[in-house]
Chain A
Amino acid sequence: MQARPLPKPSKNDSPALIKALIKENAILRKEIRVAREAAEITASLVVKQFEETERVLQKLQDANAQRKAVLDSATQIAIIAADLNGTISVFNTGAENLLRYRAEEVIGKTTPEIFFLKSELERHLEAIKVDSGRDVKGYEIFLEYARQGRKEQQEWTYLRRDGTRFPAVLSISALRDPEGVLYGFLCIAMDVTEKKRSEKALAESEANYRFLIDNIPNVVFRGYADGSLDLYDDKIEIMTGYQKGLFDSRQFTWFDLILEEDRPHVRQKFIDALKSNKSYIREYRIRRKDGEIIWIEACSKIVCDEDGNIDFVTGSFLDVTERKRAENALYESEQKYRSLFISGPNPIFVLDRETMTILDASPSAEETYGYYKDELVGRNFEELGTFESEDETLSLMESRNWNDSCIFSQRIKHFRQGGEPFYVEVKACPTSYQGRPAIILAASDITEIIEKDAQLFQASKMTTLGEMSAGIAHELNQPLNAIKIGSDFLKKQIEQSRPILSSELHEVVSAVSTQVNRASEIIQSLREFGRKPDFRKEKVDVNATIKDVMKIIGQQLSLQNIKVVYDLDETSPPILANKNRLEQVIFNLVTNARDAIENHVHFPQDSVEDIIVISTWSEQRTHLNMTISDTGTGIPEKNIPKIFEPFYTTKEVGKGMGLGLSIIYGIIRDFEGTINVESKPGGGTRFHLRFPSGEKAG
């Protein structure tokens, strides 16, 4: 803003001037009397001069009013004038507003020095000294600037009365009288706080924008109808391998890079967008300079001029090759799992983790359970059967926190449509399905395995029975022998017509009767033993089972001079088991003990006793323990880990199939029991079995 020099304020001079004119006028009047004619002329001149003077005075007053109005109307511009001594003569409303001083506080009282920072002032003084060699002090700096007639605006920091500061743009002008003599200076300052703030904001916004452009992986572009591009940074070079200049110089277009086969749909998308909202996202492949093909996602917007003609297209490119690869991998993996789900031989269910509602079921699930998928989905899984083993009282689902562990459940009874039961083994893992916490549950139909298991068990029993047949024959032959001889005696007496004493007859028929009972008991035990087992569990009295087993082989053991010592705790609790299978366990362990004793060579005169000790005891009524110890050969330490393996045997070929202990192990585990073995070669073997009490079970 350029300040015009104001006319010298000369209002005070006007009355003096008038007085002088009037005095002169009086002299002239005297002369008029001397020379009237001349006076006439002179008078008219004086009037004219007076009128002229009046006019000038009026003009001056107008100018002053105008000046004041100008000064006061500039409420946000500080206008300060000072004379050669620096004394302030003008301090407008704007100056009052900005600097918070009142005009009467500063006019005629101070220099403008107080409005400036001392340090800033010093810096300017120093600069003047360097530039023009003039050594000036304080406010003289402004006079100096005025004198030099510097027109440029300078930025100064203004100091308010309260000590706060603001930046201002300052223009300094010289005040000169009509003769051109300097009589003061004028400072016009404008507060640029807001301007500076917005400038700063603009600069920041620009920097941010730049930063964004530079740092987003997207290549920002502006494209034209001919396929040429304007680009804002060099990232295109990394993306395509081509120099940015090649695009700038229009040597080739973006469209050239797009793979031939992708071009039709790229064009189509553009046409579609033009007809609709003018925005579009396209995915296509381009060939890089090095020949590599990459996937590009281009988001664009068509910008049209007022007539609706395409002006340009603005948008960004992004290399999405990695994402595409991941998407493909995900798709493939999903396809793979989908195909497993669809074609897997085992039924697979997806269940809601909270409610156990079936969310999805595989075709194999439809087939196995005999329901259509529509009938399964939405149904509660537990309607198909429990989610818990028959013998477990705690629901697996409730007791489980699903963090990331899978649960595995053995032998659960499920029902097909129509209520036919079958056995499954279930494996369930937590997952999420359509955003909900879910469970993937695979059920394997193990009915056949269970049947095979039973067959194997049966086969093994039959093997044992085969081995035992000679012994059993001996057992049966004893009563038969007694009956035979007794009856032959009666026959002989009758044939030879000899009398039979009634005491003899009574003894013989009694013997026949008891011996028949004895034989049928043996047969009954054999039938029990050979019976095909079911896998139902019930409370079983272990002591009674031991006694039943010993009925079959006890006699044989005594014939082999093996002493059996029983140490049974008759108060011990029952266990949850299957009697037939428990018999098999005891039978196998006892016969193993017998075999170990038979193989233990010692001389009869050693007076070593061959003993099998069978003990049971209760462990705080929560568990039942059973041990079967023998004085046999013992097991070498290296073989102990192997003894529960299927087909491991130390018996000579043909004597055992080696299934005994592995089957025992399986059965015991099924009863949730444990089996341990302690043995020393030559020092006998002790099998320790431990089962949870079945007392509390249903």
Chain B
Amino acid sequence: MKKILIIDDEKTTLQMMKFFLGACGYEVLTAENADLGLEIFEKELPPIVLTDIKMPGRDGFSILKMIKSMRPETEVMVVTGHGDKDLKQKALDLEAAEFFNKPLNTDALDAALKKIEKKIGI
């Protein structure tokens, strides 16, 4: 089963994502903060990660950097409540697969996931 890791400090958001991505056929792993997220990543090595940027403690960018340095082939998507072009640029520079604003456009997410699935062949 295809695995996806979601990191967000919002518990409700995590739960809703779990439902949604579950409906998309994923095994959804969730983490409430960066440290927990990285721990799960190392253990489960999910090919796709979706992380929030603004979080207490380590933020989404440092997760992006660390995962990319650990397993460059991992597809990391970032989500933020601050719809900001600078942030998007920074994320793409760090080789993020996709950049989403909150509230999340689920169609765009669907499309992005399909593209990634095709790319990595799952």
A40 to B116, CA, bound (A): 214
From residue 21 to 67 of chain B, which have CB atoms closer than 8 A to chain A? 23-24, 54-57
Chain B neighbourhood of A483, CB < 8 A? 103
A481 to B57, CA, bound (A): 21
B102 touching A561, Cβ below 8 Å: no
Chain B residue with Cβ nearest A484:
B103
As a 0/1 sequence over residues 552 to 590 of chain A, the CB contacts with chain B under 8 angstroms (1 = contact) are: 000000110100000000000000000000000000000
Chain A neighbourhood of B19, CB < 8 A? 485-486, 489, 504, 507-508
From residue 1 to 20 of chain B, which have CB atoms closer than 8 A to chain A? 10, 12-13, 15-17, 19-20
B16 touching A482, Cβ below 8 Å: yes
Which of A6-14, A78-86, A452-460, A469-477 participates in binding chain B?
A469-477
From residue 287 to 316 of chain A, which have CB atoms closer than 8 A to chain B? none
Interface status of B94 (Cβ within 8 A of chain A) = no
Interface status of A339 (Cβ within 8 A of chain B) = no
A488 touching B56, Cβ below 8 Å: no
**With A470-B82, A498-B23 in contact, do A507 and B15 touch (Cβ < 8 Å)?**
yes
**With A477-B81, A477-B103, A485-B106 in contact, do A559 and B13 touch (Cβ < 8 Å)?**
no
Count class of interface residues, chain A: 20 to 34
From residue 437 to 492 of chain A, which have CB atoms closer than 8 A to chain B? 470, 473-475, 477-486, 488-489, 492
A486 to B80, CA, bound (A): 17
A481 to B16, CA, bound (A): 9
Chain A neighbourhood of B106, CB < 8 A? 484-485, 488, 492
* A60 CB → nearest B CB, Å: 160
Interface status of A515 (Cβ within 8 A of chain B) = yes
Chain A neighbourhood of B12, CB < 8 A? 479, 482, 486, 511, 514-515
From residue 600 to 615 of chain A, which have CB atoms closer than 8 A to chain B? none
Checking B23, B54, B81, B82 against A481 with a beta-carbon cut-off of 8 angstroms, the contacting residue is B81
B104 touching A484, Cβ below 8 Å: yes
Interface status of B84 (Cβ within 8 A of chain A) = yes
Chain A residue with Cβ nearest B19:
A489
A561 touching B13, Cβ below 8 Å: no
Chain A neighbourhood of B56, CB < 8 A? 558-559, 561
Chain B residue with Cβ nearest A488:
B106
Q: How many B residues, CB 8 Å from partner?
A: 25
Checking B17, B82, B83 against A485 with a beta-carbon cut-off of 8 angstroms, the contacting residue is B17
Chain A residue with Cβ nearest B55:
A559
* B73 CB → nearest A CB, Å: 27
B10 touching A489, Cβ below 8 Å: no
Interface status of A493 (Cβ within 8 A of chain B) = yes
A618 to B117, CA, bound (A): 63
Residue from A475, A483, A485, A559 having most chain B Cβ neighbours under 10 A: A485
**With A492-B23, A559-B56 in contact, do A481 and B103 touch (Cβ < 8 Å)?**
yes
Chain B neighbourhood of A558, CB < 8 A? 56
Residue from A475, A479, A488, A492 having most chain B Cβ neighbours under 10 A: A488
As a 0/1 sequence over residues 537 to 561 of chain A, the CB contacts with chain B under 8 angstroms (1 = contact) are: 0000000000000000000001101
As a 0/1 sequence over residues 229 to 260 of chain A, the CB contacts with chain B under 8 angstroms (1 = contact) are: 00000000000000000000000000000000
A514 to B81, CA, bound (A): 19
* A497 CB → nearest B CB, Å: 12
A511 to B84, CA, bound (A): 27
**With A470-B84, A477-B81, A477-B103 in contact, do A482 and B13 touch (Cβ < 8 Å)?**
yes
* A499 CB → nearest B CB, Å: 11
B16 touching A508, Cβ below 8 Å: yes
Chain B residue with Cβ nearest A470:
B82
Checking A474, A488, A508 against B81 with a beta-carbon cut-off of 8 angstroms, the contacting residue is A474
Chain B residue with Cβ nearest A479:
B12
Chain A neighbourhood of B54, CB < 8 A? 474, 559
* B27 CB → nearest A CB, Å: 16
Chain B residue with Cβ nearest A486:
B16
A470 to B80, CA, bound (A): 11
A473 touching B104, Cβ below 8 Å: no
A478 touching B23, Cβ below 8 Å: no
A485 to B80, CA, bound (A): 14
* B99 CB → nearest A CB, Å: 14
As a 0/1 sequence over residues 86 to 115 of chain B, the CB contacts with chain A under 8 angstroms (1 = contact) are: 000000000000000111101000000000
A481 touching B13, Cβ below 8 Å: yes
A475 to B103, CA, bound (A): 11
Chain A neighbourhood of B20, CB < 8 A? 485-486, 488-489, 492
Residue from A482, A483, A504, A559 having most chain B Cβ neighbours under 10 A: A482
Chain A residue with Cβ nearest B54:
A559
B83 touching A473, Cβ below 8 Å: yes
Chain B neighbourhood of A480, CB < 8 A? 102-103
B82 touching A489, Cβ below 8 Å: no
Chain A neighbourhood of B55, CB < 8 A? 559
A108 to B79, CA, bound (A): 158
Chain A neighbourhood of B15, CB < 8 A? 482, 507, 511
A481 touching B83, Cβ below 8 Å: no
A474 to B82, CA, bound (A): 6
* A495 CB → nearest B CB, Å: 10
Residue from B56, B101, B103, B106 having most chain A Cβ neighbours under 10 A: B103
Chain B neighbourhood of A478, CB < 8 A? 10, 13, 81, 102
As a 0/1 sequence over residues 671 to 691 of chain A, the CB contacts with chain B under 8 angstroms (1 = contact) are: 000000000000000000000
A480 to B20, CA, bound (A): 15
* A481 CB → nearest B CB, Å: 4
Chain B residue with Cβ nearest A501:
B19
Chain A neighbourhood of B104, CB < 8 A? 481, 484-485
A511 to B17, CA, bound (A): 12
* B103 CB → nearest A CB, Å: 4
* B98 CB → nearest A CB, Å: 15
Chain A neighbourhood of B80, CB < 8 A? 474
* B102 CB → nearest A CB, Å: 4
A481 touching B10, Cβ below 8 Å: yes
Chain B residue with Cβ nearest A480:
B103
As a 0/1 sequence over residues 502 to 516 of chain A, the CB contacts with chain B under 8 angstroms (1 = contact) are: 001001100100110
16 additional A-B pairs beyond A474-B82, A482-B12, A486-B16, beta carbons within 8 Å, are A474-B54, A474-B81, A478-B13, A480-B103, A481-B13, A481-B79, A481-B104, A482-B15, A484-B104, A485-B19, A485-B104, A486-B12, A492-B24, A492-B106, A507-B19, A561-B56
Which residues in A have some Cβ–Cβ distance to B below 8 Å?
Answer: 470, 473-475, 477-486, 488-489, 492-493, 496, 498, 504, 507-508, 511, 514-515, 558-559, 561
Q: Lowest 9 A-B CB distances belong to which pairs? A: A474-B81, A477-B81, A484-B103, A485-B16, A488-B106, A477-B102, A481-B102, A486-B16, A489-B20
10 A-B residue contacts at CB 8 Å?
Answer: A478-B10, A481-B102, A482-B10, A489-B20, A492-B23, A493-B23, A514-B12, A515-B12, A559-B54, A561-B57
Which residues in B have some Cβ–Cβ distance to A below 8 Å?
Answer: 10, 12-13, 15-17, 19-20, 23-24, 54-57, 79-84, 101-104, 106
